[in-house]
Structure 1
Amino acid sequence: MAVDNKKIAEDVLAAVGGASNVTNATHCMTRLRLNLKDQSIPNDNEVKKIKGVLGAQWSGGQYQVIIGQNVPKVYDAAIALGVKGEGSIDENLDDGTKEPLTVKTAGKKALNYLSKTMCMTIPIIMGAAMFRTLAVLCGDGMLGVWSADSDIYNFFYNWIYNAGYYFLPVYLGWAAAKQLGCSQPLGMMLGGVLIAPEFMTLVNAAADSGATTTMVYGVLPAQLNNYSATVLPMLLSMPVLMVVEKFMKKIIPDMLSTVFVPVCTMAVMTPVSLCALAPIGSILGDLVGNFMFGLGNAGGIVTILSLVAIAALWEFLVMTGMHQVLIALGIVQVLTSGSDSCVMVAGAIAQFATWGMAFGAFLRLKEVDEKGAMLGFSLSGIVGGVTEPALYGCGFKYTRCLGAMVAGGAIGGLIAALTNVTTYVLGATNILGITGYVAGGTANLVWGCVASGTAFVAAAAIAYFFGFTKEQLDEDAAAAKA
């Protein structure tokens, strides 16, 4: 049955107090995000009953209605009904009030900054990684189509890959500046300072000369670290750039601001970043990388418990947004050591379990619309890489199925831990995510597929046999006969 996106938009707006109660709206991949004037109006239970709605929750001051991959069309319908649309997510309501700065809100803001900045750069990281993965797949160790010294192999393995990873500080400068509301060009320029050819020449020469520092402005010592393909140096530097830029705008007259605000901001930030924040970020990056490496490679009970727990509980982390923080840590780990045997592996396996849960529900249910919805939820993950439709549309509707998802993830995580499955790039979030195992050789790829496939099959089987109450099955059978 065709989805009536306009009807969904009308029903949602009616449930939240009408278009006049919505100050602005936006959407992500699966959620319609609404900023409401009167937040007491929506009733979660009533909203969840709307046909086409998978769930609803408050998060970050927004009322988020989980719809699925057709959310852009529902958003367009809401705009046509008089809702003010925003190009980017804006969590501030029209009264301009802000949360007071406390330890709790500071931590929340820091996590939002980290996760949202990293999410903006994921397409770059993922795209570059897929080129290297293709090179490895076609190289001497796998299919043998390209020799390691061929131009096409070098193009895929190094050229395109480095375009994404080497310049990561520049991309992070842009993404962080957008999140912080400061100058994106200056953010990119600061990233360029960390990997400027002149600085990198000194870094490369230091390996032979034994030098450890250079001088900024001739007097300030800066460590000769390689900041290409790093994350934390820029993430630490950008909030300070925001403060410095605001200060410069405040003290420099408007008629001089076009020239002197950028100049003065960079004059301050260059030594602050090179001499202090970037080295601190480099040290923290090493610590995070070593910690994550230890979890995935310690062996024994530590590795087993880590992978089993993360793979089993991953989708609950997705609900809170905390998975984005773990992904950021996983990215730091991959960039620091070149591989990850913990977070990225567990997260990928958890996705297969979620898709399997919905597929098991598809096999068990008989009512045509519900059966089709479950298959759609599963395919939206397998093909589109989105798990929220399955999580909310299947797992939270038939709560026993959540147990199937958790069990499937745990079983897949156990296999991955016992066989030391390792990912070497940030792969796609759909079924192509298994390409992240390619660089580890045939055995790593095979065991990665076995762990993922087992998670899918186990979750599907458990959902099929134990995912529904007798009342739910009786109701489904009656609906199928109607």
Structure 2
Amino acid sequence: MAKKDYSGLAKKIISDVGGEKNIDNLIHCITRLRFYLKDESVAKDEDLKKTTGVIDVIKASGQYQVVIGNEVGNVYDAVVQELGPQFAAKIDDGATTTASATDKQKGNPVTRGINNLIGVITGSMTPVIGVIAAAGIIKGILALLTLPQLGSLLDVKSTLYLTISAIADSAFFFLPILVGFSAARYMKGDPVITAVIGGVLTYPQIITWGTNFKTMFSIGGFDFQFLNYTYSIFPMILAAWFAKEIGGWLKKNLPSYLQMIFTPLITVLVVSVITLVLTGPIIQGAANGIADFINWLVHVSGWLGGLVIGGFYQILVIFGLHWGVVPLVAQQISGSGESALNAIISGTMVSQGAAVLAVAIKSKKENLKGLGFAAAISAFCGVTEPAIYGVNLRYRRVFISGLIGSAVSGFITGLMHGNMFGFTGSLIGFSSFFDPKNPAQLTSFYAFLLSSLAAIIVSFLVTWFWGYNDKMVMSEKVEKKENPSKKNAVKA
């Protein structure tokens, strides 16, 4: 098949955001191009929204977000190629340029800090999400194959099981290396040096000591202990920042003939020690505490927590704020092996997919049918942005219908105290509801089945009878928009 040409779309996007001179920096997530513009008022919002290949434009988190969909990676590459090597150099300026434009526009230091933090989390986690999701699916399928109810098709002590389990576990076990590499690339540090620091945290002897909380040394009766950093995220993001700052300082102050050896030597040694002794225990302890507290709160609140979270979570997606939740879910799974929060979130994806599916089936408009079916498939595979921006928010009742369905879904999940044991949600993530440590315990899987069924039925019926009919008209900003079903979801 011929490769699709994105150069025309890239040129249009660059022009409508104000041209190369108005672009301070650019990253992308699963579905959006995230621009840091020098002056957002220059951008032509309405023209962009009417462009084929663009689902919507959102201004949030200090970013000018152009929602593309599943093809965002291809569009991002085309934009960078159009901007040329000069812009690639500008991107390499890193975290300092990332926030410069928004810093000038927003004087509130709290807002600035939150925006920058979300940007760092987004840039660091996005490249890792896919492999974590894939690993979670594999682990779930393994748990499924060991179920006594299915005749224990796979023995947990067999070579085949242990080998495949190792393949799946590697993404979580070496997560500090992956996150460190990704964070360094985003911050424009040295990915290899940062990955080595992640390797220090996952070194077998360090893990053994961390598992046993071995004491490094004591000061004034206070013991500094090793911790187990496999599956961890936040300590490495901070370590990546330290490595960038220290590495940058060394490159400026060390003679050039010493830099090749002593820059990595000093950076790895200093940052590793700081992380192991100070920042790692503090951040890991705080992150585990927050993750466990949220998990506990969801469990304790039961149906009420499920109802509230289920009813409102997808609103976070509209503004791209759900990226602040992603690391917490990962931290829950890495710490306790389960996430009640993610179980509720999973149903919200199914609900938005069912709502847009109802539109696709009911509508007689061919372009809307094409977009609706494509968006439904995407949502059932765990990416709801094409459904939300392509159809559901265009007809506000459709989005609300999805929220009603996800509230019911969350109610059931909370009532049954459902858990997820993997990262991947929606229908494609069914295997994540099998507990690898106790495959015979199917409560969470039954919760998944009932909540997903409720999400589909409620969202579909509410949309069908109240949320949509062909007499409804999209808002003016979308009316002229051509069928965006070809513009599937992106990476971020």
Q: TM-score by structure 1 length?
A: 0.83
**SS state at 2:434 partner:** helix
1:295 and 2:297 equivalent?
A: yes
Alpha-carbon spacing, 1:50–1:132, altered in 2? closer, same or farther (3 Å): closer
Alpha-carbon spacing, 1:197–1:23, altered in 2? closer, same or farther (3 Å): closer
Identical residues among aligned pairs (%): 24
Q: CA deviation at 1:310?
A: 2.0
The 8 Å contact of residues 405 and 454 in structure 2, kept in 1 or not, is answered as yes
1:457 and 2:457 equivalent?
A: yes
Specify the alignment match of 1:447 in structure 2: 447
**SS state at 2:242 partner:** helix
Q: CA deviation at 1:56?
A: 1.5
**1:265, 1:186 → 2: CA distance?**
8
**2:194, 2:7 → 1: CA distance?**
41
- Provide structure 2 residue ranges, at least 5 long, that are not aligned to the other structure: 476-492
4+ aligned runs moved over 4 Å, structure 1: 3-29, 32-38, 59-62, 70-80, 82-98
Alpha-carbon spacing, 1:145–1:332, altered in 2? closer, same or farther (3 Å): same
- One-letter amino acid of the structure 1 residue matched with residue 432 of structure 2: G
**SS state at 1:175 partner:** helix
Computing the radius of gyration over CA atoms, which structure comes out larger, 1 or 2?
A: 1
* Segment drifting more, 401-410 vs 249-258: 249-258
**SS state at 2:59 partner:** strand
**2:37, 2:118 → 1: CA distance?**
23
1:117 and 2:121 equivalent?
A: no
**2:407, 2:353 → 1: CA distance?**
14
The 8 Å contact of residues 139 and 432 in structure 2, kept in 1 or not, is answered as no
Alpha-carbon spacing, 1:236–1:11, altered in 2? closer, same or farther (3 Å): closer
Q: CA deviation at 1:166?
A: 1.9
Q: CA deviation at 1:432?
A: 1.4
Specify the alignment match of 1:47 in structure 2: 48
The 8 Å contact of residues 365 and 473 in structure 1, kept in 2 or not, is answered as no
Specify the alignment match of 2:232 in structure 1: 230
Specify the alignment match of 2:144 in structure 1: 137
Specify the alignment match of 2:185 in structure 1: 178
**2:179, 2:288 → 1: CA distance?**
18
Specify the alignment match of 1:355 in structure 2: 353
- Higher RCO, 1 or 2 (CA under 8 Å, sep at least 6)? 2
Specify the alignment match of 2:479 in structure 1: none
The 8 Å contact of residues 60 and 91 in structure 1, kept in 2 or not, is answered as no
Q: CA deviation at 1:60?
A: 5.5
Give the counterpart of 1:438 among 422, 434, 446. 434
* Segment drifting more, 260-269 vs 91-100: 91-100
Q: CA deviation at 1:97?
A: 5.5
**2:7, 2:272 → 1: CA distance?**
52
Q: CA deviation at 1:455?
A: 0.8
The 8 Å contact of residues 95 and 187 in structure 2, kept in 1 or not, is answered as no
1:99 and 2:103 equivalent?
A: yes
**2:243, 2:224 → 1: CA distance?**
18
**2:380, 2:344 → 1: CA distance?**
16
* Segment drifting more, 353-362 vs 279-288: 279-288
**2:120, 2:99 → 1: CA distance?**
23
Alignment coverage as a number of residue pairs: 457
Q: CA deviation at 1:339?
A: 0.6
Q: CA deviation at 1:231?
A: 2.5
Specify the alignment match of 1:479 in structure 2: none
**2:345, 2:394 → 1: CA distance?**
23
Q: CA deviation at 1:200?
A: 3.4
Give the counterpart of 1:373 among 350, 371, 374. 371
Q: CA deviation at 1:213?
A: 0.6
**1:78, 1:174 → 2: CA distance?**
23
Give the counterpart of 2:159 among 136, 151, 158. 151
Alpha-carbon spacing, 1:372–1:148, altered in 2? closer, same or farther (3 Å): same
Q: TM-score by structure 2 length?
A: 0.81
The 8 Å contact of residues 36 and 99 in structure 2, kept in 1 or not, is answered as no
**CA deviations over 1:66-95 (Å, ceiling 9, x no partner):** 233355666677678x55487789898799
Alpha-carbon spacing, 1:264–1:111, altered in 2? closer, same or farther (3 Å): same
**1:34, 1:442 → 2: CA distance?**
44
Give the counterpart of 2:261 among 244, 259, 262. 259
Alpha-carbon spacing, 1:92–1:65, altered in 2? closer, same or farther (3 Å): farther
**1:75, 1:267 → 2: CA distance?**
36
- One-letter amino acid of the structure 2 residue matched with residue 329 of structure 1: L
- Provide structure 1 residue ranges, at least 5 long, that are not aligned to the other structure: 476-482
Give the counterpart of 1:345 among 343, 360, 376. 343
